[in-house]
Structure 1
Amino acid sequence: MDATFWAFIGLIIFLGIIAYVKVPAMIAGSLDKRADQIRNELEEAKKLREEAQQLLAEYQRKRKEAESEAENILTAAEKEAAVLREEAKARTEDYVSRRTAMAEQKIRQAEADAINEVRASAVDLAIAAAERLIGDKVDSKASGELFKSSLGELKTRLN
C-alpha cells in the first residue's frame, strides 16, 4: 500500500464527506440564487430602461409643446407689434395733420391781422391827410358850419 493508494482513499473519504454534508446542493442552490439575482437585476434594468424611454418621450413631447408655444407667443408678439406700429403711425399722422391745421389757422389769423393793421394804418393816414387838406382849405367859419351840419346829421341818424 503505497502513498498513492492512501491519497486515493483520502480523496474518496473527502468526496463522501462533501456529499454527506450536501455541499453540491449548497453550491447548486448558491448558483441558482445567484442566477435568480442576476435575472431580477436584468428585469429591473429592463424596467428602468422602459421608464427612461417613457421619460425621454415625455420630455421630447414637452419640448415640442414648449417650442410650439414659444412660436405662438412670438407670432402673437409680432402681430401686436405690427398693430402698435400702425396705431403709432396713425396717431403721428393725426398729430401732424392737427399741427399743420393749427399752423395754417395761425397763418390765416396773422394774415387777417396784418390786413386789418394795414387797413387801420390806411384809414389813419387817410384821416390825417383829409384833416390836413380840410384844415388848409377850410377856415374857422366853414368848419363851424361843417360841425353843425355833421351834428345835425348825427342826431337824425341816432333817432
Structure 2
Amino acid sequence: MKKLLPVLALIGSPAFAASGPFFSLRNTDFVVTIAFLVFVGVLLYFKVPAKIGALLDGRAAQIKAELEEARALRDEAKAVLASYEKKQKDVQEQSERIVASAKEEAMNAAAQAKADLKASIARRLAAAEEQIASAEASAIREVRETAISVAVAAAGDVLAKQMTKEGASASIDAAIAQVEAKLH
C-alpha cells in the first residue's frame, strides 16, 4: 500500500487532469515547463551557479580559516593552561617546602628552648647548691669561732681562778722561752 501511494498521487496531479495537446499555451503544464526552462537559462546566462559556487567556496574558506584560528586558540589555551598548572604545581611544592621548613625550625626552636631551659635550671640549681654550701660553711665557721671564743673564755676563767701569781709568772717565762726557741 505504501508503494502505491506515490503512484496514485502522481496520477491525481493537474498534468494528467489537463485535456488536450501538451504543446499548447493553454496547457498549464507546458507553460510552467517553458517558464522553468527560461528561468534555468537565465540563471546559466548570468552564471548564477558559478557565483553561488564562489560564494559557497568563500564561505567554506572562511569557515576553514575560523576553524584553524579556533584550533590555534585552543592550542594556545592548552599551552597557557599547562603553564598555569605547572606554576600551580611549583607554588604548591614551594608552599609544602615552606611549611616543612617552618615545622623543622619550630621543632629546632623548641628543642633549643628545652636545652636552654635545662641549662638555666642546672645553673640555678648549681648556684643554689653553691649558696647553700657557702651558707653551711659560714654557719660552721661561725659555730667554730663561737665555740673557740667560748672555750678560750672558759679556759681563761678556769686558768684565772686556778692560777696564782707565781704560776702566771712561770707560765709567762715558759712562753717566752718557747717563742725564743722557735724564732732562733
- TM-score, normalised with respect to structure 1: 0.76
Question: Using a 3 Å threshold, how does the CA distance of structure 1 residues 57 and 17 change in structure 2: closer, same or farther?
Answer: closer
2:87 to 57, 62, 86: 62
Q: Distance in 1 between matches of 2:183 and 2:144?
A: 27
2:175 to 130, 150, 154: 150
Cα deviation for residue 144 of structure 1 reads 2.1
**1:127 aligns to 2:152 (yes or no):** yes
Unaligned runs of 5+ in 2: 1-37
Larger Rg: 2
More relative contact order, 1 or 2 (CA 8 Å, 6+ apart): 2
Deviation larger for 128-137 or 31-40: 31-40
Q: Distance in 1 between matches of 2:174 and 2:150?
A: 24
1:42 to 59, 64, 67: 67
1:105 to 113, 130, 133: 130
Q: Determine helix, strand or coil for the equivalent of 1:90.
A: helix
Q: Determine helix, strand or coil for the equivalent of 1:107.
A: helix
Q: Distance in 2 between matches of 1:103 and 1:111?
A: 12
1:93 to 110, 114, 118: 118
Count of residues in correspondence between the two structures: 149
Cα deviation for residue 141 of structure 1 reads 3.3
Summarize deviations over 1:87-117 as a string: whole Å, max 9, x none.
2212221221122122212211211111011
Unaligned runs of 5+ in 1: 1-11
Show the counterpart of 1:141.
Answer: 166
Q: Distance in 1 between matches of 2:137 and 2:126?
A: 16
Q: Aligned-residue CA RMSD in angstroms?
A: 2.8
Give the structure with the higher percent helix. 1
Q: What is the percent sequence identity of the aligned residues? A: 37
Q: Distance in 1 between matches of 2:76 and 2:61?
A: 22
Q: Distance in 2 between matches of 1:16 and 1:98?
A: 117
Show the counterpart of 1:73.
Answer: 98
Q: Distance in 2 between matches of 1:40 and 1:30?
A: 15
- TM-score, normalised with respect to structure 2: 0.67
1:105 maps to amino acid: E
Q: Distance in 2 between matches of 1:99 and 1:56?
A: 63
